[in-house]
Structure 1
């Protein structure tokens, strides 16, 4: 399985307010730990309160947090983040790799004053080298299970490809606890959720882009490639519009039900058209920051049994790679449209030495929701379907991703 983990080609094309940001794939932290035979120890030391609690309230309402006026914090699931891209901050510019994350709303990168081991492994922002840096003075803190991320806030010139965002609020982390940040190949996170999701770090980046009228339309879209061809792009974030060459068929739109995450109504999930989960409807968070599909523990357990997945001692599920072609389809229904995932989509193949091991792309977690049961549709779903996020009409669109586009273009050029 081919994964490229570091260098990034800068933005390739801009026209009519469209900003293309190439995305690169990386090994998730979970995969790196698994490959080094450290996952079991890590999960034992950190369960149950570290990962996949990003969307739950980590503490009951009323418990003081690190920031005034905020009673609870969210937990970021960096263990399965897979796609990242390039930004720069400051004058002259300082480059950083970030996860473009629809499941959060803040921008942060490591500070040159950071004292954690994780910061030594990543690029650090040097405020004293930038002529455009404005010190904010406020502190921010985010709970991460076994500890807190701590940082200070500032304002700076942000560049995303050729696009310039002036006076953008962002966080400089000065303390990053935990081993996950050491293993992560990205430096920071650029959140693309709604302002209400922000941990009070100021105006989210895409809101700044809209306010400064830097794009023609208040829309951004993601293409997450499945290609194994070395010259094919691994993914793309398009700010300001949609690329019709990257999908086929109609776009099916879903209204946002809660303006924080990109949260929509999910009608049902079926396995081989038979057993139905959430028959009375659920809520689904559309999240580019995690690779998995996550649902309530009880439903996921039944689903794992239906696809023949075997549990391990650390909560992961193995699948016999030889049986993939015979496994059932999983169908997700959104706003009356069925989205079919084959086993090739929901089974994650990984090489461990000379052996191929297959893991289920589904994971159980009982996430807090005041209404319907809550699911998360991550890259297992989003790599099959081109996704469009429309802030103008508060809706999310999906269309079948066209993964043969680049191979077809190359073949035509060789004729």
Structure 2
């Protein structure tokens, strides 16, 4: 079999755009879980050159994100999940400042910093990116501290500040975040204004406590110190609009209507609380087992800001060896594989000591059709050798198939089987909710380990899928809607 012609080969490759509508219920006497309906954006169509370049950027971006991100001393707290570019991309909206203004941000469990494009540096009159104007907020404080985040395909730079931030019905009144005045070309695409990292503070370039962690560490604010995602699938639906209902994000409790059975929690390995790490303990392809090793050689970051699944070259090669007719791509797309489109591929993953194997459906394994008969697979080889990065990055290709829960105490990740209610949302076209800003159920003061000191923060690759086309196999074309305050509780 030949390599598919690049003109067709990668013209559809990754079209994953998910969005969330953040909904904040009205205040109540006791903390309530908050739900955020997620939105999805339809896949972009690329010619062969664009697709080839896109594939290369996704691989380089993910490698840069994980291989150059220094991990600080462990801080108490947990990393909450964010879905980014699974089927297209997922992002949510937050409200910032006084008066509160909503912004769409990539929700990313693979990083820990919040940043927004600034009105005095990033945007132009015609790019359509909403920007943050610090002078318009009466509660903004400039911390006079430089801030820098680098990606494989670019960088964002600016300064740190703090202000009131609302998200999913909760508020942190002094959240530290980056106000970005310089962004590499194509790092942001309308309508996304920035990124919210949902990892642990130990990997925050700013040294700030992430929004979720500030809430989780404040006793009594959340019913339970966790976040959960249910993501929809539209990558196999013709006629999908730019924005479609993308699922539900919950903060403080799980949504029992979206899963069945028990949530299978597996603790994060000791000392690994930076990313949401799980040990991959089993992998099958159409029923055939593929050896993945054990211990740190099989560590996987569960990353909502990543579209695809990346793993060690030898294991990925063995995986495709179980698919007749598969072939490795070369050149700038080395690390990706093609296989006959008429082949049904069903992959399962198992984590930790669990006896449960979780599926990756054929619809999600098929990343893009490259030619009439040849398709590109959503698992690819990731180079992290010689670094402290985990060898596996498990993104939305997998997460669309499960209900995912990220729990702070004990630090763990849990998966459960999607309910019929959740499954019926796949491919169900509908209107995207509109961002709203409203009352919040609980307000706390934020904190930061290093904010306010005169130093330069830099985290190479610390920001996963927050930038359009910058995160592993996914376009950060996240479209968020339904900001804090609405009543878009999806049940």
TM over 0.5: yes
Identify the structure with bigger relative contact order (alpha carbons < 8 Å, sequence gap 6+).
2
Q: Residue in 1 aligned with 2:367?
A: 348
Pair 1:378 & 2:390 matched: no
Q: Report deviation, 1:94.
A: 1.9
CA distance in 2, matches of 1:158, 1:249: 35
Q: Report deviation, 1:114.
A: 1.9
1:397 to 404, 408, 414: 414
- TM-score w.r.t. the length of structure 1 is 0.80
Q: Residue in 1 aligned with 2:343?
A: 323
Q: Residue in 1 aligned with 2:114?
A: 107
Q: Is the 8 A contact 2:261 2:417 kept in 1?
A: yes
Which structure 2 segments of 5+ residues have no match?
1-11, 72-82, 429-491
Secondary structure (helix, strand or coil) at the match of 1:300 reads helix
Secondary structure (helix, strand or coil) at the match of 1:100 reads strand
Q: Residue in 2 aligned with 1:332?
A: 350
Of 204-213 and 35-44, more deviation after overlay is shown by: 35-44
The aligned runs of 1:248-397 (5 Å cut-off) are 248-257=260-269, 258-281=272-295, 282-307=298-323, 308-313=325-330, 314-315=333-334, 316-324=336-344, 327-336=345-354, 337-349=356-368, 358-368=375-385, 374-397=391-414
Q: Per the alignment, do residues 369 and 358 of structure 1 end up closer, same or farther by CA in structure 2, a change over 3 Å counting?
A: same
Pair 1:236 & 2:248 matched: yes
Q: Residue in 2 aligned with 1:54?
A: 65
Structure with a larger share of its residues in helix: 1
Q: Report deviation, 1:121.
A: 4.2
Q: Report deviation, 1:116.
A: 6.8
Q: Report deviation, 1:51.
A: 4.3
Pair 1:24 & 2:39 matched: yes
Q: Is the 8 A contact 2:61 2:151 kept in 1?
A: yes
Structure with a larger share of its residues in strand: 1
Secondary structure (helix, strand or coil) at the match of 1:381 reads helix
CA distance in 1, matches of 2:168, 2:364: 31
Count of residues paired in the alignment: 384
2:259 to 247, 250, 257: 247
Q: Residue in 1 aligned with 2:97?
A: 90
Pairwise CA RMSD: 3.7
CA distance in 1, matches of 2:96, 2:282: 43
Of 110-119 and 160-169, more deviation after overlay is shown by: 110-119
- TM-score w.r.t. the length of structure 2 is 0.68
Q: Per the alignment, do residues 215 and 226 of structure 1 end up closer, same or farther by CA in structure 2, a change over 3 Å counting?
A: same
Q: Report deviation, 1:102.
A: 0.9
Q: Residue in 2 aligned with 1:34?
A: 46
